[in-house]
Amino acid sequence: MTPTLTIFLILSAALFCIGLLAALSRRHAIFILIGIDLMLAAANVNFVAFWRFSPEPAQPTGVIVAIFSIAIAAAEAAVGLALVIAVYRHYRTTNVDKLNQLKG
């Protein structure tokens, strides 16, 4: 079975769906963050896959975008975790059902 673009895209979609499911269904803020990171990872897979099967694979465009994205995801995770800790300190919980102060 030769690796084709479709396989990677299916992998990416599956990964994305798992991330989305986690972000939507989990109540704990950290799990939600993990779900979001999974979705980002799905996007990165897409970048790399499209680069690899593009007409000009010689230039490493997709890899560079993916590395950027991973760096940003790391920063985002750091900020997200810091926020979660701040929220926890304030509300003594990380259950997002209890955190409904954002409503307009």
Q: Enumerate binding residues for other proteins (CB under 8 A).
A: 20, 23-24, 32, 96-97, 99-104
Encoded amino acid at 6, one letter: T
**Shortest Cβ 74–other proteins spacing (Å):** 22
**Shortest Cβ 67–other proteins spacing (Å):** 26
**Shortest Cβ 76–other proteins spacing (Å):** 15
The residue (of 65 and 87) whose beta carbon lies closer to other proteins is 87
